[in-house]
A and B are shown apart, each in its own frame.
Chain A
């Protein structure tokens, strides 16, 4: 399907995960220019390996959530020439609320909420200069329906959703819009590992009786970045096969 995009440079946070790499392939195929973030050499190598045939059609940059110097460095590297942002970045911290380590909780929220707000400020201001920009936050069905142990993950996702939603409310009139995607069980990355651990029986709870594929996620994100989706602003979309609509 041919889609039109207003711009081509897309910062992809959490650029080393399987979904981000699949998206990078789709972006390059659509003549977009992904800028993928990594936080260690292993991640950088994963990007290089995955995108080996596409030399010169993407960039990488170091970003470690919580490290403000790395944030400064990214925006020095890419300047104001930024049209899209897709945010896959998310640390995981599983614990019962009543059993959590307090310092870990503090750091987890600092990295996954406060630091994300700092990124959004930079990106929003860069986009405001051109009065154009589109940001997509990859949240999770767990934001709405967490399992026991996922309280901190869900809290971080919901807080981050609120930041993205407000950015779209505040800057929408100046051409900078946001949308939140909440995938359910995914056949990729952490989702695949989880599904294997559950013996896949959990998919019987999903009305479409299957997991979402990485390709489906990539194509949906591309659509959300395209001009045709620009009226979808400051809201969240569930992509979970119907999982969270019933009980």
Chain B
């Protein structure tokens, strides 16, 4: 995170997300960092993600599209880019403007290990939507 303003904003969102996740997943004793994987580390299931989307919408007063915030179509977009002969990272960045290209490349490098959605991706999404996008 480059600027102080961004960092402070993200810290608030992070603290709130930790609180939400602790309540939803009943994991108050678990350490959560921006690098924590939502599905693999915290064991979030589909119903948890739905409830998380609803709670994020309500708590941050932002519009939430479930397929965006949870990167549901990441693999599909990756396939589309390849089929259309486009640069995959650039193509996915167009679909998920809240993710930096570095982060997209990082996800692609690990995607075979399972769902790569991290807490920091949720933070990015909330920040992006908070700008009224």
Binding site for B on A (CB under 8 A): 80, 125, 128-129, 170-171, 173-174
Binding site for A on B (CB under 8 A): 47, 50-51, 54-55, 57-58
Shortest distance in angstroms between A189's beta carbon and chain B's nearest beta carbon? 35
Q: Which residue of A lies closest to B59 (CB)?
A: A129
Q: Which residues of B contact A128 (CB under 8 A)?
A: 50-51, 54
User: Is B47 within 8 A of A129, CB to CB?
Assistant: no
Give the 8 A-B CB pairs with smallest separation, nearest first.
A125-B54, A128-B54, A129-B54, A129-B58, A128-B51, A174-B51, A174-B47, A173-B47
Contact of B55 among A129, A170, A171, A173 (CB under 8 A): A129
Q: Which residues of B contact A174 (CB under 8 A)?
A: 47, 51
15 contacts between A and B (CB under 8 A): A80-B58, A125-B54, A125-B57, A128-B50, A128-B51, A128-B54, A129-B54, A129-B55, A129-B58, A170-B47, A170-B50, A171-B47, A173-B47, A174-B47, A174-B51
Q: Which residue of B lies closest to A170 (CB)?
A: B47
Chain B at the A interface: mostly helix, strand, loop or mixed?
Answer: helix
Q: Which residue of B lies closest to A173 (CB)?
A: B47
Shortest distance in angstroms between B132's beta carbon and chain A's nearest beta carbon? 17
Q: Which residues of A contact B57 (CB under 8 A)?
A: 125
| Besides the known contacts A128-B50, A170-B50, 11 further A-B residue pairs in the complex with CB atoms under 8 A apart | A80-B58, A125-B54, A125-B57, A128-B51, A128-B54, A129-B55, A129-B58, A170-B47, A173-B47, A174-B47, A174-B51
CA distance A170 to B50 in the complex (A): 10
Q: Which residues of A contact B51 (CB under 8 A)?
A: 128, 174
Shortest distance in angstroms between B63's beta carbon and chain A's nearest beta carbon? 12
CA distance A80 to B61 in the complex (A): 13
Shortest distance in angstroms between B76's beta carbon and chain A's nearest beta carbon? 21
CA distance A125 to B57 in the complex (A): 10
